[in-house]
Amino acid sequence: MPIDLELEQVLRPPQIPMVPYPPKVITLANGNKMVVRQALREEVPMILKGVEPCLWIERDYYDIVSARLYGELLAWYRHRVKSEYCLIGQIDGYLVGAVNGRLENEKVGMSYHTLAIDRGLRIGSHLFAAKMEYHLEYLKQEEVLIVAESPIGFRRWMIEYPLEETKIPHELGGGDSWRLTREIYFKARERLVVGDRPVPPDLLAKAEDEILIVDDDIIREKIAGLKGR
Amino acid sequence: MRDVAVIGVGMIQFGRRDEDTLMDMLAYASLKALDDAGLGDGTVDAVYVGNMAAGMLQHQSAVASSLVDRLSLLPAAADVVENGPASGGSAVKNGLLAVASGYYDTVLVTGGEKMREVTGWRATDIVATMTHPEAEYPYGITLPGMAGMFTRLYMEKYGVTREMLVAVALKNQEIGALNPYAHVEMALDKNGIFNSPHSIVNNPMAADPLHLYDACPVSDGAAAIVITALDKIKNPAKAPVLIAGFGQATDTQTLQERDDPTDLKAVTLAAQQAFERAKMKPSDIHVAELHDAFTILEIAESEHVGFFKKGEGGKAALDGKTRLGGQIPINVSGGLKARGHPVGGTGVAQICDLTWQLRHELPKERQVKNAKTGLSVNFGGFGNNVLAFVLRRVDS
């Protein structure tokens, strides 16, 4: 598709410089090692292959979350969103979850979505915590604005941290934002944010080498629990 | 009284079954049990259904009548048996007494619950309605809360440690991962839930000192058995399993009214009655299904039924004495911890699993070698209504 470079300059939002998120590794309940790292823009097409099967799962609002995440990642890939980032979780190279967000400005972060592709291992909790860690510890932001689209998300974010209710609209629409301040984050950090750094070189190399995606059916089974039916 | 034997069992996978109604689940499990019993024509005299909360969860009553009609078992007698999480065991007992008395010859007992229709919070609240209506429930007590307090007392009195509780969780989820009917099909790793700093997120505190993986999941599921008079069985295709004894006992509804809250008297009494009726003792049992809604309960029940002395159950779990191949394999199904706990179905599911064990039908990684006797304990309330069954394989 030919690009009109002058027009493209107008359409592309300006980007706030972001320090990279340092990768970490987390031992999950079943002993698997999940590498959490920042995705590169050029990795988006492969991540979308892992998100796509979730678009068709109604259970626990996976369809909404996946559809929105898909669009947000595509917007980042096509330079149509300001200061977005994506963190991913990988086990043996396989994509098991993704979270994204962006910077509203240098002080305020906007949390977008959290998608656990493998379930029952608190992968969503770990990845959401990594997202908050990025905003508050590495990007040094003052606060992050958050909404939940599923009851599970509400329980995990609003109650477990617990977040502060606000009347500030969130750019995803829906309910008003809840706020994670530095004070709340650092109070909750000890019980919610874990991970070892540096990631052993072999684990990191495996993760960075290629994002592997399991079969669509397996993704649907892991999320919707269709085994044995 | 006549001897009564299990001649058919059926179960569906426990878990979250959004696509199925409660009646679907009860019917699937029942049909499997009827087929297993060779009663494809559905000839039974009566149906007992163990169910705790369809009224609250599904806004549905008279579940047994509905099941009989759905299965085309008319005009079989039909009753729902509600006894909290011991509803399944109580349904089995009612069926057993009906056949033993000679009033009925063949009875279908089905137990099930559909709990994932509501949030975990609401399910926890519904289960908590079994607590004392004036002294406990209005103050916000939940079963995990009770189990937490019980665990703390047990730790102080008997030296149970968190590592012992973790040993139960690891054991049951490891073997439960091999059970195709289990809700939780995932083995745990000790580092992931206990040793590493990451375990604080993986296995968060649920009700001090109990953590997430100390508790069973909230499950949908159903199980069914067919029982008949032993003397009516001619040329069985599968070894009948005799219900050699049962016992049932109650205790005070509130824990604080007990002389010693760590003493589960109803478990002891129910097991003693079952052993006495079966003319057996704890050391005669080859495999047991104990009601491990919380890891501490497997340890406490293993002592109260007489497998271990008081205070030695935790160490026995840690030392592997309750694993497959150990002194007394407990919860080789994965127990409530991994198989899941659809409250009204659990007592029936325990009998199913023991029957498979005693018929030697399980794959070797879950089969207790040459098992001929089994014990189940179905624990209602917080030990205020308990049923125990002793089963014995009948060889021709």
| Residue A229 scores a pLDDT above 50 | no
Whether B201 sits inside 8 A of A30 (CB atoms) is no
The structure tokens listed for A205 are: 């190399």
- Distance (Å, rounded) from C-alpha B238 to C-alpha B54? 34
> Which chain A residue shows the shortest CA-CA distance from B28?
A229
**A129 CB within 8 Å of a chain B CB:** yes
| Residue A226 scores a pLDDT above 70 | no
Residue A173's pLDDT is 86
List of chain B residues whose C-beta atoms are within 8 Å of the C-beta of residue A196? 198
List of chain B residues whose C-beta atoms are within 8 Å of the C-beta of residue A125? 201
Residue B313's pLDDT is 98
DSSP, residue by residue, A67-125: HHHHHHHHHHHTT-SSSEEEEEEEETTEEEEEEEEEESSSSEEEEEEEEESS-SS-HHH
Q: 3-state class of A151 per DSSP?
A: helix
Residue A218's pLDDT is 85
Name the interface residues of B facing A (CB cutoff 8 Å): 13, 15-19, 119, 180-181, 184-189, 191-193, 196-204, 213
For domain B1-396, the CATH class is: alpha beta
| Residue A153 scores a pLDDT above 90 | no
> Which residues face B134 on adjacent strands?
none
B186: nearest Cα among A96, A32, A229: A32
Mutation target vs A (from B202, B214, B219; most A CBs, 10 A cutoff): B202
Q: How many helices (H) and strands (E) does chain B have?
A: 14, 11
Residue A11's pLDDT is 92
Mean pLDDT for B356-365 is 97
Mean pLDDT for B359-382 is 97
Q: What percent of chain A has pLDDT over 70?
A: 97
Q: Which of the two residues, A150 and A198, has the higher pLDDT score?
A: A198
B348: nearest Cα among B382, B376, B318: B376
List of chain A residues whose C-beta atoms are within 8 Å of the C-beta of residue B15? 225, 228
Residue B43's pLDDT is 86
List of chain A residues whose C-beta atoms are within 8 Å of the C-beta of residue B16? 225
- Distance (Å, rounded) from C-alpha A126 to C-alpha B394? 52
* Cα atoms found within 13 Å of the Cα of residue A61, Cβ hemisphere only: 14
> Which chain A residue shows the shortest CA-CA distance from B20?
A229
Minimum mean pLDDT among A209-213, B52-56, B118-122, B328-332: which range?
B118-122
pLDDT in tens, B153-200: 999 999 999 999 999 999 999 999 999 999 999 999 999 999 899 999
Q: How many helices (H) and strands (E) does chain A have?
A: 8, 8
Confidence bin at A228 (pLDDT 50/70/90): very low
- Distance (Å, rounded) from C-alpha B95 to C-alpha B227? 8
Whether B189 sits inside 8 A of A129 (CB atoms) is no
Q: What is the CA radius of gyration of chain A?
A: 17
Residue A227's pLDDT is 45
A21: nearest Cα among A3, A47, A40: A40
Whether B13 sits inside 8 A of A129 (CB atoms) is no
* Nearest CA distance, B198 vs chain A (angstrom): 6
Query: pTM to 2 decimals?
Result: 0.95
Mean pLDDT for B22-28 is 98
List of chain A residues whose C-beta atoms are within 8 Å of the C-beta of residue B196? 27
Mean pLDDT for B360-379 is 98
Structural domain spans, chain B: 1-396
B374: enclosing H helix or E strand: strand B373-380
Residue A3's pLDDT is 73
Whether A29 sits inside 8 A of B119 (CB atoms) is no
> Which chain B residue shows the shortest CA-CA distance from A25?
B198
B215: nearest Cα among B337, B52, B90: B337
Under 8 Å CB pairs connecting chains A and B tally to 68
Q: What percent of chain B has pLDDT over 70?
A: 99
| Complex-level ipTM | 0.91
- Distance (Å, rounded) from C-alpha B231 to C-alpha A129? 63
Please calculate the CA angle B389-B362-B360 and round it to the nearest 5 degrees: 65
| Secondary structure, 3-state, A8-58 | HHHHCCCCCCCCCCCCEEEECCCCCEEEEEECCHHHHHHHHHHHHHHHHCC
Whether B19 sits inside 8 A of A229 (CB atoms) is yes
Residue B38's pLDDT is 93
The structure tokens listed for A223 are: 């999320």
**A59 CB within 8 Å of a chain B CB:** yes
> Which chain A residue shows the shortest CA-CA distance from B174?
A30
Q: What percent of chain A has pLDDT over 90?
A: 79
Residue A126's pLDDT is 97
Choose among B19, B186, B189: nearest Cβ to A120. Answer: B186
> Which residues face B225 on adjacent strands?
B9, B109
Residue A224's pLDDT is 74
Residue A122's pLDDT is 95
Residue A5's pLDDT is 87
Residue A1's pLDDT is 61
> Which chain B residue shows the shortest CA-CA distance from A126?
B201
| Residue B3 scores a pLDDT above 50 | yes
| Residue B42 scores a pLDDT above 70 | no
- Between the CA of residue B130 and those of A35, B260, B353, what are the distances in Å? 44, 21, 26
Q: 3-state class of A180 per DSSP?
A: strand
Mean pLDDT for A28-55 is 97
Residue A225's pLDDT is 66
Domains of chain A with bracketed CATH: 20-224 (3.40.630.30)
Whether B197 sits inside 8 A of A190 (CB atoms) is no
